A and B are shown apart, each in its own frame.
Chain A
Amino acid sequence: MGEEGILLIYQSAEAAIYNDLTALLGQYRELRTVKSKLEMASIVYQNCGLGIIHPQQVRSSGGYIISPSSHHVTGWLAKHGKRDTPGCHFPRGWIAGALAVIYSKPIGHYKVAEKKCKMMRDEECVFYVEEC
């Protein structure tokens, strides 16, 4: 499926976390600031066993997210070994959907590219977020 398959993974993750995080933040209305919502998103990511994400200078216009540990990287490397291209399509979609909720934007507002990937044996995964 190539790019179409990648897009399916990305958009499926984006839509799922968009719905889930919207519902979750709706229950925790005391989380008012962007900082606290970003922290909540990172905690959710970790608690779901998906790995670790650290937002770096993230603003409503975009920014960087660093992931030093990832469920998907661990699984990919165990089964397939090193890749030549970035492979964290699920985390990219997850980040895009989560940031859209946090900044009260519609789904699809952000696009996320993976600049470095541990599947390629980079030190950490680095995601670059920008507005579409």
Chain B
Amino acid sequence: MAIDSTKIIHAVMEGSRVRESKGIMPHFGVYLSLFSVQYYNRLSFDFEKIIGPHRAAEAQSLLIKAAQECGYATFQGIRNSWEWEEIIKPMIVKKEDQIMGFAAVAMAFSWGDLKVEALVPNERLVIRVSDSYEASGYLKDYGRAASAKCYMLRGVAGAFMDLVYGEAYPEGCFSFVAKEPLCRAKGDSYCEFIARKSPY
């Protein structure tokens, strides 16, 4: 059975209406929250600014690693949830299908319209996104960027590969590393993320 992204997105959207009495949103094995992308973008881009241009690479690396670690733990929780077991697992035929399932859940979280363009098992993942909130936010508040700006999705692309092809959780984080050769924030028509095995 192919991965039915629409069914997954509907399941996440439906479940995210549930609030327990403490105002916490437990869903798909993790605690969700809804908040403005303005917050996340300002955190990232002002963080870069505060760190300073002479340490830009270090700031970007920290942001990407934070996203990858978070994506790794979050999607491990999602993969072990009863919702995954009930809704997504029956659609999974081969190992690679997990990545399609992850991408559908990420879309439901409004992280962007993730489209898996290519997947070479244990080697390379290519994801395209035409509406990354980071690229949109950067363009809106800071103008055209000189370099790619979608740190969160870059980390998440690596995390997807870590979970499927890395060592068993929690040892496999950072087995892969993603680059973003194309980014709307720097004038490309879409953002593209390519995850490959980490050389380190």
Chain A residues close to B by CB (< 8 Å):
1, 4-5, 8-9, 11-13, 15-17, 19-20, 45-52, 68-69, 71, 74-75
Contact = CB atoms under 8 A, between A and B. Distances in A.
B19 A47 contact: yes
A119 to B, nearest CB: 15
A45 B46 contact: no
A39 to B, nearest CB: 14
Interface residues of B, number: 18
A74 B24 CA distance: 9
Contacts of A17: 36
Interface in B27-46: 31-36, 38-39, 42-43, 46
Given A1-B50, A48-B33, A75-B31, A12 B19 contact: no
Given A4-B50, A8-B46, A48 B24 contact: no
Contacts, number: 67
Interface of B: 19, 22-25, 31-36, 38-39, 42-43, 46-47, 50
Contacts of A8: 42-43, 46-47, 50
A52 B34 CA distance: 14
A69 B43 contact: no
B35 A50 contact: yes
Contact of B31 (A5, A45, A49, A52): A49
B50 A16 contact: no
Contact of A15 (B35, B42, B47): B42
20 contacts: A1-B47, A1-B50, A5-B47, A8-B43, A12-B38, A12-B39, A12-B43, A15-B42, A16-B36, A17-B36, A19-B36, A20-B38, A48-B33, A48-B34, A49-B33, A49-B34, A50-B35, A52-B22, A71-B33, A74-B24
**Closest CB pairs A-B (n = 5):** A49-B25, A69-B22, A46-B23, A16-B39, A49-B33
